[in-house]
Chains A and B, each alone.
Chain A
Amino acid sequence: MSTRLDLALTEIADAAGRATALVEPADPTATLTVHRIAARVRRRRAVRAGAAGAVAASAAGAAALVGPGLASGPVVAARPDAAPGTCGSSVARLPAPDARLAELHVASVSQFEQTPSGSEHLGSWGGTSAVLLAWRGADQDVPAHELVLPDAETAPLTAVLEQDGVVVAVSPASADLVDTDPWYEPEPGTTVERFLPEGVDQDEAVVTHRLTVGLTRCDDPGARLPAGDYGLLLLDRAGSGSTVRAATAAGTLAVARPAGAPPTGLPAGFPGSVPLAGGELVSVRQPDPGRWVVQLDRPEEDALGEAEALLREVAGDPGHDPGEDGAWFRHERDGWRVQVLRGQAPSGRPTLTYLVRTDDPGPR
């Protein structure tokens, strides 16, 4: 008896459709999902007309958006006289993007690692900063060893966040690291397999900005922004002055609510000195004696960094063990070693996943 592929594929698709949390018609999150997608569409549609239009459009869409996880109003008071791009200023006064900004693609680091293409939704963040990559291809008509890109190609960008059309967070341009990756003509008769992110042609150099976007209020740098969605704008300032020469709407990022306390209710026998991050316990398994797999509900982009920092405080830097993938944090006195990774719950929701071993703490 043969397997009917068309029927099997239909079964698989139907099961995935039943399992998705993206659209549950009776669930208010469906409304939220539609609004989020519509806001992204408005931004992209308007970005061609200029940053101001983009933000105005997204702000208009956001007016109807008050739901779980979203801030309900501007957190920084509008200052009608503020210079464009500064704290409290109106984004409606920002100029349109120039050619450099219009061609930028933006993604979080983890998004880029999965798919080297730009994203409109730049992830959810649990800390006080978001690390993003912005890149574009640059014409290269000279040999790679002679390539000197003009300042206009590599000038730092200023990242600001807006809510309801008001600038609520401003990141210093010094947080913007710029890297260039020239294209080398291969030797005759050879081919080169080149890693190319979206929007970069084979014979172009890549200019990459590493942006550290502050998630603190511009009128109170000690205070983190309230949980909610914020629009990211990238500004090109003229020289070191404050005049904004061009601006572009680069997507939306979410400031997450605090993760809360580390999970409780772990089984007896689980090594209590393993410093787990805060978050709801999704699952804990013991596939073999002395081995544990713990998953926490932590969808934020920076959750892994937070978890690694906690482990580093207790166990020092991680090391690589022969025959093992990845790096392990090892605590010799308490006899455990731990690897923490980004994972997924069966529902598809991102998790922090801890692999814990007590049966074999590794080489000493």
Chain B
Amino acid sequence: MASWEDALDELVRTRGRALVGYAYLLTGDLREAEDLVQDALVRTFTRGRGTREVVSAEAYVRRAVLTTYVDGFRRRRHWATIRHLTVVPEASPSDGPEAGPEHVVTTRLTVQQALATLPPRVRACMVLRHFDDLTVAQVADVLSLSVGAVKRYLSDGTRALEARLGPVSGRDGSDADDAEHPDDSLLTPRRPR
């Protein structure tokens, strides 16, 4: 079994980019995403649970990223209001030579901008549901919300995105706010907060 230092080293090198990408979906800001991942790594490895194996450590770090974000990872508001003045209007993060076809980049940017308009909890619900492919019940469990609240957030989020993007769909072309998932029959009661 590897030491926690070895696991940390391997996790950062092999999964660091994926973790930053995940955090970016929540923050919409690359530097905040990097800070969020570093803080989540510190929290996870300090606790020491499941940190000897990279796979389990990554799961804990993702959870820490999410809870840290939802618990109040806030962006500086004044900067947000003037940020558009400082950047050349291009893809951010940079598209670079590895960028995909033009229509993919356009869609990404449009979705990115629409995502930025969502409140933190709504955004977290949308990412867990559509990026992590969790069931509504699982989203509720992760965020310590009721199933009803998650359904409402997903509905609100979908409506907000559709107002900017037109129709949106989930995996396999299903409606994006469709709460029905193969595992959704396994609903769990609300967990005390």
Contact = CB atoms under 8 A, between A and B. Distances in A.
A17 B9 CA distance: 17
Is chain A's interface secondary structure helix, strand, loop, or mixed overall? mixed
B50 interface: no
B111 A8 contact: yes
A346 B46 contact: no
A116 B22 CA distance: 22
B193 interface: no
Given A15-B108, A16-B24, A293-B85, A2 B8 contact: no
B185 interface: no
A318 to B, nearest CB: 14
Contacts of B2: none
Contacts of A3: 107, 110-111, 161, 165-169
A268 interface: no
A2 B22 contact: no
Is chain B's interface secondary structure helix, strand, loop, or mixed overall? helix
Contacts of B33: 16, 20, 348
Nearest to B48: A45
Interface residues of A, number: 61
Contacts of A117: 71-72
A15 B82 contact: no
A347 B91 CA distance: 11
A13 to B, nearest CB: 3
A145 B7 CA distance: 52
Given A115-B73, A325-B81, A348-B29, A16 B21 contact: yes
Q: Which one of B4, B20, B29, B83 has the highest number of Cβ atoms from chain A below 10 Å of its Cβ?
A: B20
A347 B53 CA distance: 31
A210 interface: no
Contacts of B108: 8, 11-12, 15
B25 A13 contact: yes
A114 interface: yes
B37 interface: yes
Q: Which one of B31, B90, B167, B168 has the highest number of Cβ atoms from chain A below 10 Å of its Cβ?
A: B31
Contacts, number: 208
A13 B71 CA distance: 21
A37 B71 CA distance: 22
B79 A34 contact: no
B39 interface: yes
A348 B108 CA distance: 18
Interface stretch (A221-229, A242-250, A258-266, A337-345): A337-345
A135 B81 CA distance: 29
Given A3-B111, A37-B45, 10 more contacts: A5-B111, A6-B133, A10-B131, A12-B21, A17-B24, A22-B37, A40-B38, A40-B42, A341-B78, A346-B93
Interface of B: 4-5, 8-9, 12-13, 16-18, 20-22, 24-25, 29-34, 37-39, 41-42, 45-46, 48, 71-76, 78-79, 81-83, 85-88, 90-96, 98-100, 104, 107-108, 110-112, 115, 126-127, 130-131, 133, 161, 165-171, 173, 176
23 contacts: A2-B167, A5-B161, A6-B130, A6-B170, A6-B171, A9-B127, A11-B111, A12-B25, A12-B115, A16-B30, A17-B24, A18-B96, A22-B34, A22-B37, A37-B38, A41-B4, A41-B45, A45-B48, A117-B72, A293-B86, A343-B86, A347-B94, A351-B86
Q: Which 10 A-B pairs have the closest CB atoms?
A: A19-B93, A13-B21, A17-B17, A23-B16, A16-B24, A348-B30, A17-B21, A348-B31, A2-B167, A8-B111
